[in-house]
Amino acid sequence: MDLIVEDCVILPMAGSNPTAAAMLIRDGKIVVVGTVENARSAALPGARVVRLAGATVIPGLIDAHCHVSTV
């Protein structure tokens, strides 16, 4: 099953775009990070959509109980 995460700020930490608006996850792997249109067009029919109300997403960040802060 595909999962589309949108309505958020995604910090991919790679590539030329510093942020993205959506992410497509298929079988537990990130397939698309980009615009909502990119994620939706690549998704299989029946994909689940999760809207995160403006939350920040950092894919692949493993929390080793560090206290991350912004300055």
pLDDT digits (tens, 9 = 90+) for 6-28: 999 998 877 676 889 999 999 98
Q: What is the count of structural domains for the chain? A: 1
Does residue 66 fall inside a structural domain? no
Is pLDDT at 38 greater than 70 in this prediction?
yes
Look up the domain containing 25 and give its range: 2-57
Does residue 43 fall inside a structural domain? yes
What is the domain-level CATH number for residue 37? Answer: 2.30.40.10
Measured distance CA(71)–CA(62) in Å, rounded: 21
In sequence order, the β-bridge partners of residue 43 are: none
- pLDDT at 63 (0 to 100): 63
DSSP tag of 28:
T
Higher pLDDT pick, 12 / 38: 38
